[in-house]
C-alpha cells in the first residue's frame, strides 16, 4: 500500500463515526490518563494529539516519579501526600518502567533558609529561595517519611556527617557538611509508560479511539474541527463534552476553539544527557538532588548508562519553540562542577539535549521555582454551550489520580456512574511483571522457546510483559538483528511501526525506543531504521532521506 493510501486509511474510524461522548484534546500523559479512565468506564471517548503521543511536556521531564520534597516548603502538603501515594502505586502498577531511586542531597550549610522557608510554608509568600540548611532538610524529610513509607517498604531517610559522606562518595565537593539520603522513584522510559497507559485505554470498552497527528484546530457551531496534520484533511467532530488537556498549549488551544483564556504561565526547563563514565560512577547509583549556588534545586543521576543533568526554570512564550540554549548548558556544567569539582566533563560528551515547558498556572511575577505544581480543572465554556473543560497544571507523577479526578468531573456532566477505579489496576506490560531476576529468567524460559531465552528476557525488560506481542510477531516472521543497532531486530521494528502508530522516524527513535536519549543514533542507524519503515509505510526514497535528515539530537516543544 502506498504512503498516501495508508495516510487516508488511518482516520477511517474517525471519519466514519465523527462523534463521541467525550473528545480529549492533547495526548500527553494527562490527556492519556483521562482517556484511559473514561474508556474503562465504558464511555465513548476519542483522543486526538497534534504531534506524536507524549511528545510535549511529558517528553521533557526529569523522569522522576516523586513526592516533591521541595514542595513542602511551599506549603503544598496535599500535593506531596497525593504524589507520594501515586509514586507508591506506580512502583506496584508499572514496575517494568518505574523503579525506586535512591536520592542523596549534599548539604553545604547547617541553618540557612531557616527563616525564609518556614515563612513560605505558612504564608505561601513568593520570596526567592535561599540556601536550605541541614536543619530544614531534616524537617522536610521527616515529613516525607511520614507520608511516603508505603507501609514500611520504602526505607527511612538517613543523615551522614562529612566523614561518612566522603567515604561513601569520595568525589564529592569537600565543602560538604552532611548528606541526606532518602528514596523516591524514577522512570527510565516515560514515553513507553505513556504508550502503555494509552494502549490500556484503546483496549478498554468498545468505543475508545486515539489518534496522533490530529489537532483540534477550531470550533464551529458546537462542533470541533479536527485537522489531520499529515494530510491537511478536516473533519467536523461532535462531542457531548470536550476536554482540553494540551498542557502548556492550553491557552493556545482554547484560542483556536474561540475562547480567550489566560490560565497558563509555564516555565521552560532543559536537560542534557552526558556520556561520562567517571561521573556515572561518582553518582554511585543514586540521584544527586541538591541546591545549586543560586538557590535552585537541580539534579543529576545515572540512567540507562548515561548521566541526566537538569534543570532550569525560565518563563517562556508558547509561541516560540523551547530549546536548550548554550547558557543552559554552561549552567549545567557549573552545577556538576559544584558537586564533583574534580570530574572533567566535556561538551563532546553530550549525547542528547531536551527542553520543554511545564504546564503551570499563571501566577503573576512570583519566582518560577515556587509556582505551584498542583492542578485544577476549569469550565471554559458557558453553561449554555457544549461543555469545554480545561486542565491547568498536573505533574507526571500524579497522572493516574488526575485522570481519575478529571474523568469523574466529566462523568458528572454525562450523568454516567463510575464503574471502576484505576487505583489497583496494573499498567500495560506491568501486569504480572516479574520483579526478581529469578522470575524474569523463568518468564523468558516460558516465552523464549522460538526466539531464545536471552532475547525473550531482553524484550521483557524493554516492554514488560507486553513483550509477548512482540515475541509472537517475531516467532511468526523470524528476525535479523540490525547491523547498526544490534539490540533491535528488523521484525521488532516492523512490529512497532505496524502496531504503535509510528509515522515519522523521530517517533521511533525518540518515543518507541530510547535510541536518541542514549545517544545511540547516527546516520547509518537512521538509514537502517528508515529502510524498514519505508517497507511498512510505503515511503519513497525522497521521503526516507528527508526523515533521516529531519532527526535531531534535541527535542523541544513545538508550536
Ligand atoms: C523540565 C521539566 C521537568 C519536569 N520534571 C518532572 C518530574 O521529574 N516529575 C514529574 O512528575 N513531573 C515533571 N515535570 C512535569 C510534567 O512533565 C508535566 O507536567 C506533564 O508531563 C504534563 O503533561 P500534560 O499531558 O498535561 O501536557 P503535555 O505532555 O504537554 O501534553 C499536551 C499535548 O497536547 C498536544 N497539543 C497541543 N495543542 C494541541 C491541539 N490543538 N490539538 C491536539 N493536541 C494538541 C501537544 O502536542 C502535547 O503533546 C517536568 C516538566 C518539565 C518541563
CA angle, 488 then 491 then 496, to 5°? 80
Name which of 66-80, 130-144, 155-169 the model is least confident about.
130-144
- Say what percent of the chain tops pLDDT 90: 78
Question: Is 80 exceeded by the pLDDT of residue 372?
Answer: no
Distances (CA, A) of 150 to 56, 155, 186, 203: 31, 9, 16, 30
Tell me, rounded to whole angstroms, the distance of Cα 442 from its chain centroid: 30
Name which of 159-173, 215-229, 265-279, 289-303 the model is least confident about.
289-303
Question: Rounded CA gap, 418 and 39, in Å?
Answer: 11
**Spatial contact of 90 and 68, defined as CB atoms under 8 Å apart:** no
C-alpha cell at 35: 482517556
Atom number of ligand 1 nearest to Cα 216: 42
Question: Rounded CA gap, 178 and 533, in Å?
Answer: 52
Question: Is 90 exceeded by the pLDDT of residue 154?
Answer: no
Model pLDDT for residues 190-214, shown as the tens digit of each residue: 999 999 999 999 999 788 999 999 9
Spatial neighbors of 350 by CB under 8 A, at least 6 apart, are: 272, 273, 274, 329
Pairing of strands 64-65, 178-187: antiparallel
Assess whether the C-beta atom of 397 lies below 6 angstroms from ligand 1. yes
User: What residues pair up with 106 in beta bridges, in sequence order?
Assistant: 179
Spatial neighbors of 174 by CB under 8 A, at least 6 apart, are: 166
Model confidence band, residue 67 (pLDDT cutoffs 50, 70, 90): confident
Q: Write down how long the chain is.
A: 559
Q: Which of these, 141, 147, 117, lies nearest to 129 by C-alpha position? A: 117
Dihedral sign from CA coordinates of 490, 494, 496, 502:
positive
Q: What is the mean pLDDT of the chain?
A: 91
Question: Rounded CA gap, 476 and 492, in Å?
Answer: 12
For a pocket test of ligand 1, which of 14, 23, 26, 68 has the largest count of ligand atoms closer than 8 A to its C-beta? 26
Assess whether the C-beta atom of 368 lies below 6 angstroms from ligand 1. no
pTM of the model: 0.94
Assess whether the C-beta atom of 87 lies below 6 angstroms from ligand 1. no
Half-sphere exposure of 288 (CA within 13 A, CB side): 29
User: What residues pair up with 64 in beta bridges, in sequence order?
Assistant: 186
- Long-range pairs of 1-4 with CB within 8 A, sequence gap ≥ 24: 1/538, 2/538, 3/537, 3/538, 3/539, 3/540, 3/543, 4/231
Model pLDDT for residues 320-332, shown as the tens digit of each residue: 999 999 999 999 9
Question: Is 50 exceeded by the pLDDT of residue 115?
Answer: no
Q: Which of these, 193, 232, 88, 218, lies nearest to 151 by C-alpha position? A: 88
Model confidence band, residue 51 (pLDDT cutoffs 50, 70, 90): very high
Residue that wins the pLDDT comparison between 449 and 69:
449
pLDDT of residue 110: 66
CA angle, 238 then 28 then 435, to 5°? 125
**Spatial contact of 385 and 254, defined as CB atoms under 8 Å apart:** no
Cis ω before 311 (30° cut-off from 0): yes
Cα–ligand 1 centroid distance for 359 (angstroms): 6
Question: Rounded CA gap, 61 and 190, in Å?
Answer: 9
Residue 420 has phi, psi (to 5 degrees) of -155, 150
Cα–ligand 1 centroid distance for 9 (angstroms): 29
Cα–ligand 1 centroid distance for 284 (angstroms): 30
Residue nearest to atom 1 of ligand 1 (CA): 269
Assess whether the C-beta atom of 215 lies below 6 angstroms from ligand 1. yes
Assess whether the C-beta atom of 556 lies below 6 angstroms from ligand 1. no
Question: Is 50 exceeded by the pLDDT of residue 59?
Answer: yes
Assess whether the C-beta atom of 56 lies below 6 angstroms from ligand 1. yes
- Please tell me which of 131-135, 151-155, 312-316, 442-446 the model is most confident about, judged by mean pLDDT: 442-446
Atom number of ligand 1 nearest to Cα 266: 53
Question: Rounded CA gap, 99 and 236, in Å?
Answer: 43
User: What residues pair up with 314 in beta bridges, in sequence order?
Assistant: 268
Residue that wins the pLDDT comparison between 152 and 24:
24
Question: Rounded CA gap, 267 and 316, in Å?
Answer: 5
Q: What DSSP character marks residue 212?
A: S
Residue nearest to atom 9 of ligand 1 (CA): 64
Assess whether the C-beta atom of 29 lies below 6 angstroms from ligand 1. yes
Neighbours of 319 (CB within 10 A): 7
Residue 210 has phi, psi (to 5 degrees) of -130, 145
pLDDT of residue 254: 98
Residue nearest to atom 42 of ligand 1 (CA): 215
DSSP per-residue string spanning 472-503: HHHHHH---B-SSSTTSBHHHHHHHHHHTT--
Question: Rounded CA gap, 346 and 340, in Å?
Answer: 14
Neighbours of 132 (CB within 10 A): 25
Assess whether the C-beta atom of 520 lies below 6 angstroms from ligand 1. no
Our separate counts of H helices and E strands in the chain read 19, 19
Name which of 62-71, 155-164, 430-439 the model is least confident about.
62-71
- Say what percent of the chain tops pLDDT 70: 90
Cα–ligand 1 centroid distance for 259 (angstroms): 21
pLDDT of residue 276: 98
Q: Which of these, 91, 90, 77, 84, lies nearest to 33 by C-alpha position? A: 90
Atom number of ligand 1 nearest to Cα 31: 25
CA dihedral angle for residue 438, residue 443, residue 448, residue 453, rounded to 10 degrees: -20
Model pLDDT for residues 182-191, shown as the tens digit of each residue: 999 999 999 9
Q: What DSSP character marks residue 315?
A: E
Amino acid at each position: 500500500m502506498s504512503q498516501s493510501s495508508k495516510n487516508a486509511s488511518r482516520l477511517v474510524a474517525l471519519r466514519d463515526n465523527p462523534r463521541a461522548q467525550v473528545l480529549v484534546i492533547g495526548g500527553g500523559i494527562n490527556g492519556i490518563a483521562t482517556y484511559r479512565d473514561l474508556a474503562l468506564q465504558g464511555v465513548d471517548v476519542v483522543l486526538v494529539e497534534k504531534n506524536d503521543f507524549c511528545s510535549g511536556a511529558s517528553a521533557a521531564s526529569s523522569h522522576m516519579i516523586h513526592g516533591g520534597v521541595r514542595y513542602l516548603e511551599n506549603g503544598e502538603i496535599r500535593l506531596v501526600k497525593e504524589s507520594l501515594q501515586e509514586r507508591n502505586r506506580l512502583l506496584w502498577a508499572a514496575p517494568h518502567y518505574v523503579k525506586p531511586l535512591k536520592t542523596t542531597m549534599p548539604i553545604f550549610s547547617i541553618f540557612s533558609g531557616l527563616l525564609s522557608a518556614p515563612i513560605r510554608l505558612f504564608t505561601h509568600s513568593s520570596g526567592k529561595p535561599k540556601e536550605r540548611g541541614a536543619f530544614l532538610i531534616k524537617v522536610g524529610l521527616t515529613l516525607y517519611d511520614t507520608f511516603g513509607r508505603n507501609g514500611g517498604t520504602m526505607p527511612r531517610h538517613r543523615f551522614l556527617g562529612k566523614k561518612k559522606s566522603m567515604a561513601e562518595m569520595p568525589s564529592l565537593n569537600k565543602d560538604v557538611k552532611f548528606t541526606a539520603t532518602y528514596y523516591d522513584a524514577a522512570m527510565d522510559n516515560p514515553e513507553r509508560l505513556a504508550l502503555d497507559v494509552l494502549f490500556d485505554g484503546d483496549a478498554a470498552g468498545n468505543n475508545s479511539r486515539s489518534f496522533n497527528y490530529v489537532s483540534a484546530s477550531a470550533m464551529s457551531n458546537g462542533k470541533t474541527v479536527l485537522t489531520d496534520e499529515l494530510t491537511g484533511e478536516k473533519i467536523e467532530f461532535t462531542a457531548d463534552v470536550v476536554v482540553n488537556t494540551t498542557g502548556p498549549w492550553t491557552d493556545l488551544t482554547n484560542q483556536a476553539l474561540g475562547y480567550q483564556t489566560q490560565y497558563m504561565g509555564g516555565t521552560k526547563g532543559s536537560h542534557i544527557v552526558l556520556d561520562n563514565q567517571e561521573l556515572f560512577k561518582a553518582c554511585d547509583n543514586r540521584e544527586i538532588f541538591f541546591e545549586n549556588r543560586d538557590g535552585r534545586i537541580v539534579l543529576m543521576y545515572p540512567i540507562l548508562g548515561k548521566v541526566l543533568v537538569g534543570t532550569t526554570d525560565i518563563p517562556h512564550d508558547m509561541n516560540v519553540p523551547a530549546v536548550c540554549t548554550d547558557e543552559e548548558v554552561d549552567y549545567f556544567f557549573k552545577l556538576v562542577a559544584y558537586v564533583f569539582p574534580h570530574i572533567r566533563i566535556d561538551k563532546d560528551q553530550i549525547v542528547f539535549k531536551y527542553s520543554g515547558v511545564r504546564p503551570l498556572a499563571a501566577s503573576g511575577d512570583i519566582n518560577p521555582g515556587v509556582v505551584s505544581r498542583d492542578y485544577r480543572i476549569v469550565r471554559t465554556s458557558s453553561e449554555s454551550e457544549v461543555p469545554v473543560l480545561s486542565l491547568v497544571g498536573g505533574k507526571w507523577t500524579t497522572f493516574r489520580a488526575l485522570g481519575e479526578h478529571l474523568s469523574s468531573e466529566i462523568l458528572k456532566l454525562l450523568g454516567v456512574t463510575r464503574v471502576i477505579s484505576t487505583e489497583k489496576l496494573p499498567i500495560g506490560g506491568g501486569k504480572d511483571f516479574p520483579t526478581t531476576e529469578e522470575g524474569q529468567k523463568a518468564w523468558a524460559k516460558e516465552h523464549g522457546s522460538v526466539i531464545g531465552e536471552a532475547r525473550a528476557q531482553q524484550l521483557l525488560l524493554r516492554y514488560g510483559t507486553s513483550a509477548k506481542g512482540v515475541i509472537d510477531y517475531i516467532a511468526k516472521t523470524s528476525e535479523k538483528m540490525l547491523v547498526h543497532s544490534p539490540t533491535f531486530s528488523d521484525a521488532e521494528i516492523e512490529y512497532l511501526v505496524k502496531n504503535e502508530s509510528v509515522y515519522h522516524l523521530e517517533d521511533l527513535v525518540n518515543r518507541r525506543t530510547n535510541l536518541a536519549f542514549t545517544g545511540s543514533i547516527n546516520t547509518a542507524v537512521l538509514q537502517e531504521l528508515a529502510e524498514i519503515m519505508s517497507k511498512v509505510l510505503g515511503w519513497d526514497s525522497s521521503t526516507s532521506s528527508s526523515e533521516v535528515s529531519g532527526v535531531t539530537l534535541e527535542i523541544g516543544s513545538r508550536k
